[in-house]
Amino acid sequence: MWPYASLRAYELILNESIKYSKWNRNNDFPHIIIDNIPVKELTNSEESLKETIFYVKNEYKRLKNNGVNIFIMACNTMHLYYDKIFEEEDDIINLSLISETISQIKQDLYKTVGILWTVNTVKSWLYLKILEKEWILWINIDDENILYDINNIIKKIIWWVKILDDNDSNTLRKSITILQKKWAESIILWCTELPIAFNQLNVDIKLYDPLLITIKKSCEIYYNILK
């Protein structure tokens, strides 16, 4: 979706693969296909959303028919339409950033999690319903000014502004403080760009990076089952 999200996913796969490789030879790494789809922004209109789902589903089918074993969608927001894109098949593993993250939270025994995400994604209850189904209490930020400030930080990273200014850093720290005061034990960074932003800060709470969690799972499957 966003090319740099794919770039980060590729880098994470390589970094994780090295842990499984004894010699770090070229043939120790998986066969990786990066499929960047130049679709319109999801927020443009209902029509652009339908167009996006159509293109992503077509790419899924094309890759599936060419022997791909594991699928990962690097865009968090696109997971809102996961069921409209992927098909359940025994010989194909579709890894969901949402499902893998929640599975990790359960494994870590956290019962209360804070959520940071985009303004548009927060309007959807999809993630929240899954958390509630797993008996995990979610905590959100209600302050729209902070949500829009976070959205602007995400846009900066999308535009490849790597270094955040003091106002950005203060916004991120303030968001963490708000969630901690509401008794969040951990926080999900439910936007692919947010972990990049938080890499520039030191915080005293567990942060979940859905893309990293899912990449680790994919490498575990590949090296322990498929290779």
Architecture of the domain spanning 3-96+211-226 = 3-Layer(aba) Sandwich (3.40)
Predicted confidence (pLDDT) per residue in 136-160, tens digit: 999 988 888 888 898 888 888 877 7
Q: How confident is the model at residue 191 (pLDDT cuts 50, 70, 90)?
A: confident
CATH number for domain 98-210, candidates 3.30.530.20, 3.40.50.1860, 3.40.190.10, 3.30.365.10: 3.40.50.1860
Give the pLDDT mean for 44-68: 85
> What integer pLDDT is reported at residue 108 of this predicted model?
95
> What integer pLDDT is reported at residue 90 of this predicted model?
66
Q: Do domains 3-96+211-226 and 98-210 have the same CATH topology?
A: yes
SS (H, E, C) the chain: CCHHHHHHHHHHHHHHHHHHCCCCCHHHCCCCCCCCCCCCCCCCCHHHHHHHHHHHHHHHHHHHHCCCCEEECCCCHHHHHHHHHCCCCCCCEEECHHHHHHHHHHHHCCCEEEEECCHHHHCCCHHHHHHHHCCCEEECCCCHHHHHHHHHHHHHHHCCCCCCCHHHHHHHHHHHHHHHHCCCCEEEECCCCHHHHHCCCCCCCEEECHHHHHHHHHHHHHHHHHC
Q: How confident is the model at residue 88 (pLDDT cuts 50, 70, 90)?
A: confident
Delimit the domains of the chain by residue range. 3-96+211-226, 98-210
